[in-house]
Amino acid sequence: MILAKDPCGFVLPNPSTEYSSSLDTISTAQAPTTASFDNHEFRLLHITLKVGFRVCCAGCGPLNKLPGLLKTFQEVSSVQIHHKSSQVEFYLKESSVLNEKNLVEVLGRRAPQCTFEKIAFGPGFELIVDGDASGYTTGYPNGVTGVVKIGKNSILVNYEPTVIGARTVLSHPFFRNPILAPRSPPLQISKEKSKLRKLVLVSVLSAVFTTPVLVLAYTGEHIYNEVRRGAIELALATVVQFGIGGFFYKTAYKDFRSTGKPGMDMLVVLSTTTAYICSVSAYISLALAHPFYLKPFFEVSTLLVTLIMAGKAISAFAHQKALDSISMESLQPSLANLTTGPEPSNEVLPIDVRLLEYNDVFVIRPNETIITDGCVISGESEIDESMVTGESALVHKTENSKVIAGSVNHSGILKVRVSRLVHENTIKTIGDMVDEAKSSKSKIQDTADLVARHFVPVIFTITLAVFTIWSIVGVLVHKKSPADACFIAASYAISTLVVSCPCAIGLAVPMVVAIAGGVGAKHSLILKTSQTMEIARKTTHVIFDKTGTLTEEKVSVVFEDYSKDKSEHIASIIHATSAVSVHPTSSAMVAHFNEGKVDCAPLEAATFIPGKGVEAKLDGEVVRVGNPYWLGVEASPAVLEALRRNLSICCISKNDQLLATFGLQGRLRKDALQTIKELQRRSISVSIISGDNEPAVQALALQAGIPSQNTHSLCNPSGKRDYISELQKDKSNVVLFCGDGTNDAIALAQANIGVHMSGGTEVAQDAADVVLMRPSLASIISLIDLSKAFHRRVLFNFIWCFVYNIFAVMLAAGAFLVFRIPPQYAGLGEAVSVLPVIFVAVSLRWAEF
């Protein structure tokens, strides 16, 4: 396969094809063989499994126990749990005990509360096929990486887009004219809506059976005698308890079996079952003409189940609405207008965006959303990128301009060549990073999990104490019989069990993380970890790289000196070596010599050395382009002159002989001065650390208002790391480093918070904790403010959970004597405790940054 860059700088497969083949192209590639793998006993495989059982919080279920389970297998390593997508990812070294074939079966036996489904590599879509879907799961075409049966006549097809196109897959004779299934909503939103529908249905059904019980309990004495009325209530209560509420027993048992500890559902089971059994006992004694002090109270258990279900439905509704509000996937259009040629008269065909292929050309009309990342090949327009980058100003686009998915076209008509497919475009990338932040755990989340894990045992202990105390009070103080005293004590114990809820504690942090991640993305801040949200508010030192970070990306050559007469040969060497690096200095050199339309010299073994420059060979001679100290020419007159002018310097040598010296100058970013002043106003130390020469760094620091003692020049990558490490020796310091280049990657990784400027290298982006989608330093202020808002809401949630559970338990336990929570109304506790947590998290959407 041929790879090359298009005029916009994207790497594309098969760029020689001006337009993709016609829509009815059919691949004749043969089906792959898997037999070649069977002879290899050991293989290291990257496995992703979809987990079929998912719960809402750490105190409720087994998802968080999966890493411990998987680590018991010596074949498994590097386990990661993705909570939002309910996926577990790890590496598997196959053996006779555990391998790709028996993986799902073995894990299913060890974790019966979960179902596992292996996810194939590559993008995919659902197809409705003719005949049994099982017949398509083997022998599929080359380039298709997996086919999974998901229904009687439906399959999920995954493919490698650099090998086979989506439309080629769809039209391949192997699938026998399938129908592309309707596009599903984002996985998490779809699951939440499905969960909500089920909860609403069950709640309504429970209410239908509970209503007659309530009517009979409060007005039935005028219709039936007590025994007949009790029989009807018993029948209805049994349906509610074991029919509608039966799943509580299953989930409580599976949870306890997998974790060894009782969960929230165990509280529900014990409380409702206790109320039911007490009522049955009271009814039996009534039917035998030996009634207890308390009459049957079937309305308690039925109303408990109904209100608990209603509380879960209300919480699920609020949670689903919160997810809807921050969904990045909602920015992705569903249809693309594909053109079949470069001329205006060529046909334009609307197709599903899932069927786009590399090098396709689509048309964007005014007020339409950009389908996916691409390069403009014709047309001119103004684009609104605010939904993705947060930048409100319109961006002018013309031929060879990059456009990003989710942005909106305003005026002209554009033809755009596809550079990235939907599964890898900017919207998807941002969404994935936000999801990773949601699934990552911070220290404060660990604290919440610890509290949630011990919550249920503590409530059990309190409940037992409540029952014991009220039993003793009933016999010794109120002079009740032991049976009557136990019945009264049981009502207090039931209220105590039900009213307490660890779900709010479990959601206190993840809910705010989820909303904060989405809010950050809409303000051009992509936070990779929740830990960053937690500590950014504590920032004490902000360190900027100089070139391309404090200065604008575009640097200009303002001084040049040649050791010999300037010749085309020297210019071609300079151009070629500079083109190897994506550093702003190299880009400026390339732009400088592009003006003269100079061809590149044929280089060999060109290597970019971070913090130094580029080294290559030309006709067996060593050519270097980089800083004068690396080349050993810092004392040359030309270099000294450039230093005198406070310029950044780039030199070229051949076999250690200086050929040329260039002085470059970059402008301070427009918002740099204001951002630095605001940081200093907040008592945050601001520094510059650069590989550039000292005069150039000092000159920029003077413009930016940074004290000269906070500037550090001639720093290589390890020097930047060492400086940050030295600051971190004081444990109270939280260091934020902002950079954009490959030479900043080590410093980005070393800092407590690494911030990557948009437009930098992928190496730097991978090392960073935060990615700025627009090149604005003001986003650092937004990051700190978002962190403070995040912390305030998490703190409120913890305080609310503590206060709620203290007072709710005291009310339910009868601590206030006059006021108490009756057992039948304690079921509303989940909604009362969880809803404020969700509302406080959602309020981040309206916060000002």
DSSP string, 629-697: HHHT-TTSHHHHHHHHTT-EEEEEEETTEEEEEEEEEEEEPTTHHHHHHHHHHTT-EEEEE-SS-HHHH
537 three-class SS: helix
DSSP-derived secondary structure for 119-138? PPSS-EEEEE-SS-GGGGSS
Distance, CA of 810 to CA of 201 (rounded, Å)? 33
pLDDT of residue 528: 76
∠ Cα 251 252 257 (to 5°): 95
AA letter at 318: A
Tell me whether strands 76-82 and 685-689 are parallel, antiparallel or unpaired.
unpaired
Distance, CA of 196 to CA of 318 (rounded, Å)? 10
Distance, CA of 437 to CA of 510 (rounded, Å)? 10
Q: Which of 384, 545, 740, 744 is catalytic?
A: 545
Distance, CA of 309 to CA of 424 (rounded, Å)? 39
pLDDT of residue 786: 93
Residue 650 burial by Cβ neighbours in a 10 Å radius (0-12, 13-18, 19+):
buried
Q: What share of the chain is helix, strand, coil (3-state, %, to 5)?
A: 50, 20, 30
Distance, CA of 142 to CA of 28 (rounded, Å)? 9
545 is catalytic: yes
Distance, CA of 614 to CA of 342 (rounded, Å)? 39
pLDDT of residue 23: 40
549 three-class SS: helix
Length of the chain: 849
CA distances from 342 to 338, 357, 410, 595 (A): 11, 17, 22, 29
Tell me whether strands 11-13 and 361-364 are parallel, antiparallel or unpaired.
unpaired
Average pLDDT of the chain to the nearest whole number:
77
What is the distance, to the nearest Å, from the Cα of residue 797 to the centroid of all Cα atoms in its chain? 22
Distance, CA of 652 to CA of 314 (rounded, Å)? 68
Indicate whether this model's pTM tops 0.85.
no
AA letter at 255: D
Of 179, 404, 212, 415, which Cα lies nearest the Cα of 298?
A: 212
First-to-last C-alpha distance (Å) of the chain = 46
Low-confidence ranges of the chain (pLDDT < 50): 1-5, 7, 9-43, 54-61, 760
Tell me whether strands 361-364 and 374-378 are parallel, antiparallel or unpaired.
unpaired
| Structural domains of the chain sorted by starting position, each given as residue range(s) with its CATH number in brackets | 41-180 (3.30.70.100), 191-325+441-510+796-843 (no CATH), 335-431 (2.70.150.10), 525-548+668-786 (3.40.50.1000), 550-667 (3.40.1110.10)
Tens of pLDDT along 711-736? 988 887 778 888 998 999 998 999 99
Distance, CA of 409 to CA of 403 (rounded, Å)? 10
151 three-class SS: strand
pLDDT of residue 192: 66
Tens of pLDDT along 753-796? 988 876 545 555 666 788 887 778 888 999 999 999 999 999 99
Question: Cβ distance 271 to 494 under 8 Å?
Answer: yes
pLDDT of residue 17: 38
Calculate helix-pair angle for 510-522, 829-842, nearest 10 degrees. Answer: 20
777 three-class SS: coil
Q: Rg of the chain over CA atoms, in angstroms?
A: 33
Distance, CA of 187 to CA of 235 (rounded, Å)? 40
Sheet holding 381-384, edge to edge: 395-397, 381-384, 408-409
Distance, CA of 320 to CA of 329 (rounded, Å)? 14
Distance, CA of 221 to CA of 227 (rounded, Å)? 10
pLDDT of residue 15: 36
Distance, CA of 834 to CA of 830 (rounded, Å)? 6
Distance, CA of 812 to CA of 499 (rounded, Å)? 7
pLDDT of residue 434: 60
